[in-house]
Amino acid sequence: MRLSRYFLPVLKETPSDAQIVSHRLMLRAGMIRQQAAGIYSWLPLGYRVLRNIERIVHEEQQRAGHIPVLMPTVQPADLWQESGRYNAYGPEMLRIRDRHDRDMLYGPTNEEMITDIFRTHVSSYRDLPLTLYHIQWKFRDEVRPRFGVMRGREFLMKDGYTFDVSKEAALHAYNRHLVSYLRTYERMGLQAIPMRADSGPIGGDNTHEFLVLADTGESEVFYDSEITDLRFGDRDIDYDDPAQCRAVLEEFTSRYARTDETHDPEAFARIPTERQRTARGIEVGQIFYFGTKYSEPMGAMVQTADGIQVPVHMGSHGIGVSRLAGALIEANHDDRGIVWPEEVAPFPCGIVNLRQGDGNCDSVCEAIHGQLSARGLEPLYDDTDERAGAKFASMDLIGLPWRITVGPRGLKSGTVEVTSRRTGDSEEMSPEAAVARIADIYGRG
Ligand code: ATP
Ligand code: MG
């Protein structure tokens, strides 16, 4: 992509209304534009990041055996009247009336709709287990939308729903989700810690929230510092094996880690003092087994192997896809801008031409651009007439993991410079070696 033909409206000034660093950087880097409180357009750079996050979520969901669907954003109110949540949901629900005076709403979540789909088409244990998920926009009329996409009113969520014939089977689905979430966040270069959460009026302790530690997080969290040493890594887990999934869950949830809602000061005090940590965290996901809360009132029944009709056991499992764009920046930035992890970066690398219009510089940049693109690694090539300092500042701000700098002085000895955004380390090498280096980093060598 040539910057001269791209749409990257970076801001020189720091927006005064943005309180946290990720919001400021998303605005300055031209990733988003606020259209109303808590409602954003995703500009090209932001949209590329959002798509990368979505892609990873899709891949990891499907690796775990979950099936993608797409439900609408606008829902009829009568489904919510059946479950009893139409009145219970309160002012967070955006209610709409259509031209025929029918009550509709912009979905804040999809338990009712998925239960309706299920009861229409499934009636036997033979069709279970089943997990359906989608990635779709939600609307919640939050009292205080703030922090940019972190607490929006319209936001993108992955929500998945599990259907099982028994509680035992449903708990395997729960554990499987926990494992797949660990893997999803780690792939994005994020550490998200599962913490015991509050199940609210439904009760039970089968719910965990995943939190990214950050000073700007909205939740207060308490944990045993040993938990931050755990890594899922590249383990090969059989998602269909309940024992394997349970072992991972036990490993990652046996140490104390709770949000303020479930915090137990006495249990916390029993951790050795030097390991007690109090911090703030950003909730990037939640898993929840709630049994028959929706299947019972909505009549989603299945026949068991013994021929008995039982309400299906359900769980719902969410990932904050658009919030993750902000959370990733909170966890990956420095005073010059964003530092994208490679898996989610909007472009794998940038090319800076230090003397646009110089025949030699231009043709080397074009060659690098073409060769990387041919390998499926389309770089962002700054082919504008800006000064070198301004080009470097923009590249640092938008945070591409690697930069290839091409200038007349280096080319005299046949070299260009490859620089890591994260460490700032630079290395000189031939243009061919630079292409090979980037391709190698991204596994396209
Ligand atoms: P919160 O406690 O932050 O309001 P929640 O517990 O109500 O979130 P869930 O229903 O669990 O949210 O939704 C699943 C995920 O969607 C959350 O873990 C979070 O990452 C994301 N999410 C929820 N509300 C918002 C929002 N207003 N803006 C952006 N992302 C959100
Ligand atoms: Mg939640």
Question: CA Rg, the chain, in Å?
Answer: 24
Ligand 1 atom having least distance to the Cα of 152: 28
Pick the CATH number of 347-441 from 3.40.190.10, 3.40.50.800, 3.30.70.100, 3.90.1150.10: 3.40.50.800
| CB of 328 shorter than 6 A to ligand 1 | no
CB 80 within 8 A of CB 89: yes
201 C-alpha vs ligand 2 centroid, how far in Å?
A: 14
Residue bearing the CA closest to ligand 1, atom 15 = 320
**115: which strand partners?**
none
CA dihedral 389, 393, 394, 396 (to 10 degrees): 140
> Which two structure tokens, joined as six digits, stand for 111?
């338990």
CA-to-CA separations, 441 to 89, 93, 343, 420, 445, in angstroms, rounded: 48, 45, 11, 11, 8
Q: Is 404 helix (H, G, I), strand (E, B) or coil?
A: strand
CB 403 within 8 A of CB 342: no
Residues with Cβ < 8 Å from 437, sequence gap 6 or more? 418, 429
Ligand 1 atom having least distance to the Cα of 108: 10
| CB of 286 shorter than 6 A to ligand 1 | yes
Ligand 1 atom having least distance to the Cα of 140: 27
Residue bearing the CA closest to ligand 1, atom 2 = 283
Please give the biggest Cα pair distance in the chain: 82
Residue type at position 21: V
Q: Which residue has the tokens 């964003």?
A: 338
Residue ranges per domain, the chain?
3-337, 347-441
Domains 3-337 and 347-441 share a fold: no
Q: Is 144 helix (H, G, I), strand (E, B) or coil?
A: coil
| CB of 151 shorter than 6 A to ligand 1 | yes
212 C-alpha vs ligand 2 centroid, how far in Å?
A: 13
Q: Closest-lying ligand to the alpha carbon of 217?
A: 1
Residue type at position 163: F
Q: What is the CATH number of domain 3-337?
A: 3.30.930.10
320 C-alpha vs ligand 1 centroid, how far in Å?
A: 6
Sequential pLDDT tens for the chain (445 residues): 999 999 999 998 888 889 999 999 999 999 999 999 999 999 999 999 999 999 999 999 999 999 999 999 999 999 999 999 999 999 999 999 999 999 999 999 999 999 999 999 999 999 999 999 999 999 999 999 999 999 999 999 999 999 999 999 999 999 999 999 999 999 999 999 999 998 876 666 699 999 999 999 999 999 999 999 999 999 999 999 999 999 999 999 999 999 999 999 999 999 999 999 999 999 999 999 999 999 999 999 999 999 999 999 999 999 999 999 999 999 999 999 999 999 999 999 999 999 999 999 999 999 999 999 999 999 999 999 999 999 999 999 999 999 999 999 999 999 999 999 999 999 999 999 999 999 999 999 8
The strand ranges marked E within 239-323 are 257-259, 276-291, 301-303, 309-311, 313-320
Cα–Cα distance for residue pair 348/368, rounded to 1 Å: 13
> Which of 286, 322, 330, when mutated, tests ligand 1's pocket best, judged by the most ligand atoms within 8 Å of its CB?
286
Residues with Cβ < 8 Å from 443, sequence gap 6 or more? none
